[in-house]
Structure 1
Amino acid sequence: MYDIGIIGGGTAGMTAAIYGQRAGKQTVIIEGSTFGGQITSSPNVENYPGIASVSGSEFSMNLLDQAMKLGTETVMEQVTGIRDEGAVKVIETTGKEYPCRSIILATGVTHRHLGVPNEERLTGAGVSYCATCDGMFFRGRDVAVVGGGSTALQDAEFLSNYCRKVYLIHRRDEFRGEDSIVKRLQGKENVEFVLNTIVKEIIGDTSVERLIVNNKKTGKEYKLEVSGVFIAVGQIPQNEIFAETVKLDGNGFILASEDCMTSHPGIFAAGDCRTKEVRQLTTAAADGAVAALAACKYIAE
């Protein structure tokens, strides 16, 4: 029997384990693919308070090492579901079952990809899914943002403060995001809208060098010389298997308040998988701490 069962081995999940173990609770992290989450693909992390610079993989491995030294158990299995048996919550995996007094869902999200040639190969070498995380590495250089929602608009505005030129590429003729941001971007000399256009290919040997794009109206194909491309075409939560136990919003994110409590007593949600405005490394760590302490309180009561 575990006190806290944590589903997901990213920053939120591992932070929850650290706080749970330090509170005297026995925790287990169950991860289906890779411990560390998406941050492991970032070559440099420079926006985490107190750490000037660290690779994403080193940051993640330090977290995992800290959690394990405190006594956290780790399991590499795919979770297939959860069920409530009153005082006991059971995590079901492809291998076995794990009875727990409480559960923290920290499944994160996956970024929707464009699916174009070289996107995967150059991820972390000019291809990024987080302008706030990686934008500073492109100071004074030309970059592109792909997307038409508020996230893409916000990314373009953020990057325009540091980059020489920002191309904002969208497949339609108008943006879906906030009109107020569109108007601000229109007033920036270093931002260029590239509408009715899709990315066909990302070019580069060891890092991004240019994009091949296609104008859907004219059929014209041409190149954009850029050092980085920030893809903001949506995030995909992975919470379907929990839909019968906890409430999800219309986009599939777990409905949870700032105290990380879900609609189901004893089950908490931490990190990018829950409803929230800001999804950053710092907010994932904060959620992990809050969820663990809330789980400890639940167990005590």
Structure 2
Amino acid sequence: MSYRVDGKNDLFDLVIIGSGPAGITAAIYAKRANINVCVVEGSAPGGKILKTGFIDNYPGFASIKGPDLAVNMFNQLNSLSVPIFYSQVTGLEKQENYFFTYLDNKTLLSKAVIVATGTLERKLGLENEAKFETKGISYCAICDGPLYKNRDVAVVGGGNAAVEESLYLSGICNKVYLIHRRDEFRADSYAVNKLKEKKNVVFLLSHVVDSYLGDQTLKGIKVKNLKNNQSTDLTVDCLFPYIGAVPNTSFLKSFNVLSEEGYVLVDANQKTCVEGLYAAGDCVHKKIRQISTAISDGTIAALAVNDFFKLNK
């Protein structure tokens, strides 16, 4: 079979899908190994850290803003002249020894693929949710928080993201309600203790959001106390849900490499059961999802791809 490479079909050794910490790291290592590599990004480089207020657990920085770290990573990638295609991946398939990565306006051919697509925000699933998204429901506190300066907002969740973004919002907003369905937080105690020092944060433990209030824009939320089933209306201008994530891997369903939850199953070398197909970062089936583990995954995946090419010269 012959493959035509022109303005719509580009041939590479390696295509990396995603440019968060895992994807950028993989691209850096691949480029250093003289692999003909490109990166595909569906939105903006940086992944989840682009939406993180402050990062306090990344070596080398006592504290750094998420967007600043994302820009630093992206600038390093840019300095290596790695081609970046800004497009959603509409499909991925393998024919003989080549992968076809389908983008909005072209097809990329490659001998190997590293999937580093991360996760998407999990939604509350309440009535009128889509209606209020961008009109009072936001999944990015650092993006939209400044729009609600000196106003009341609510955050939902009990993990690190919910606590850290509540901490960020407490420095901007008049009042922050932190709503969590359990009695205790899953987040690091260090972050929780810092948040408890903020006098404008109201903790609503054992509570859930029951419904949205408002007509054209969000005007408030109805919350329910899970211990006594009593409901309360809260007047807030924005709700920030941080209740977990779902893997961004729907384009891989035909490869039989996904767990029941949709995460990519890989071995110790980040390799799937499909030859030439690797995965790294938060989209992978694993227990710990941190910036540091994503970088580790990206490193291992790129080096494994390099070994794969050496064995298949």
The TM-score, its normalising length taken from structure 1, stands at 0.74
Q: Tell me whether 1:154 sits opposite 2:186 in the alignment.
A: yes
Distance 1:224 1:165 in 2: 23
Name the residue aligned to 1:188: none
Query: Which residue number corresponds to residue 132 of structure 1?
Result: 160
Aligned partner of 1:248 in structure 2 is: 258
- Superposed, 1:276-291 pairs within 5 Å as 276-291=286-301
Task: Tell me the secondary structure at the aligned position of residue 39 of structure 1.
Answer: helix
Q: Which residue of 2 aligns with 1:294?
A: 304
Partner of 2:7: none
SS of residue in 2 equivalent to 1:262: coil
The answer to whether residue 155 in structure 2 is matched with residue 144 in structure 1 is no
Q: What does residue range 19-98 of structure 1 map to in structure 2 within 5 Å? A: 19-98=29-108
SS at match of 1:155: coil
CA shift in 2, pair 1:57/1:138, >3 Å: closer
The amino acid across from 1:154 in the alignment is: R
1:194 matched to 2:206? The reply is: yes
Q: Which amino acid aligns with 1:25?
A: I
- Number of residue pairs aligned between Structure 1 and Structure 2: 265
Letter in 1 for 2:272: T
Deviates more, 1:29-38 or 1:15-24: 29-38
Question: Which string of whole-angstrom CA distances, capped at 9 and with x for unpartnered residues, describes residues 58-77 of structure 1?
Answer: 21122122112113110011
Task: Give the direction of change, closer, same or farther, for the CA distance of 1:64–1:73 in structure 2 (3 Å limit).
Answer: same
Residue identity over aligned pairs, in percent, reads: 26
Report the residue type matching 2:186 in the other structure: Q
Does the 8 Å CA contact 1:8/1:29 hold for their aligned counterparts? Answer: yes
- CA shift, 1:215, in A, is 4.4
SS of residue paired to 1:286: helix
Structure 2 CA distance, aligned partners of 1:121 and 1:292? Answer: 31
Counterpart position of 1:102: 112
Counterpart position of 2:23 = 13
What SS does structure 2 have at the residue aligned with 1:20?
helix
| 1:16-53 residue CA offsets vs partner (Å, 9 max, x unmatched) | 10010011112100111222112111222221111222
Q: Deviations over 1:274-293 (max 9, x none)?
A: 10101111111111111111
SS of the residue corresponding to residue 79 of structure 1 reads: coil
Q: Which moved more, 1:122-131 or 1:52-61?
A: 122-131
Distance 1:70 1:148, change over 3 A: same
Check whether the contact 1:81–1:92 (CA below 8 A) recurs between aligned residues. yes
Residues in 2 aligned to 1:123 and 1:130: alpha-carbon distance in whole angstroms: 15
Question: C-alpha displacement at 1:201, in angstroms?
Answer: 6.1
Q: Any idea what the Cα deviations from partners look like across 1:116-164, whole Å, max 9, x if unmatched?
A: 773418723484878436746849x986353569xx8523867555443
Alpha-carbon spacing, 1:128–1:8, altered in 2? closer, same or farther (3 Å): farther
Q: Give the aligned CA root-mean-square deviation in angstroms.
A: 3.6
Tell me which amino acid in the other structure corresponds to 2:180: V
8 Å CA contact retained: 1:90, 1:99: yes
Counterpart residue type for residue 123 of structure 1: A
Contact persistence 1:198–1:214 (CA under 8 A):
yes
Distance 1:55 1:128 in 2: 22
Extract unaligned runs of 5+ from structure 2: 1-10, 146-152, 171-175, 214-219
Given the superposition, is the C-alpha separation of residues 234 and 41 from structure 1 closer, same or farther in structure 2, using an over 3 Å criterion?
Answer: closer
Give the corresponding residue for 2:4.
Answer: none
* CA deviation map 1:51-101 (0-9, x unaligned): 222222221122122112113110011211122233322211121111112
Q: Distance in 1 between matches of 2:306 and 2:158?
A: 33
Are the aligned partners of 2:180 and 2:205 in contact in 1 as well (CA < 8 Å)?
no
1:118 is aligned to 2:136: yes
CA contact (8 A) 1:131 1:159 kept: no
Residue 107 of structure 1 aligns with an amino acid whose one-letter code is T
Partner Cα distance (1:257, 1:160) in 2 = 34
Aligned to 2:173: none
Name the counterpart of 1:183.
Answer: none
Q: Distance in 2 between matches of 1:250 and 1:60?
A: 31
Residue 284 of structure 1 aligns to a residue whose secondary structure is helix
Match of 1:206 in 2: none
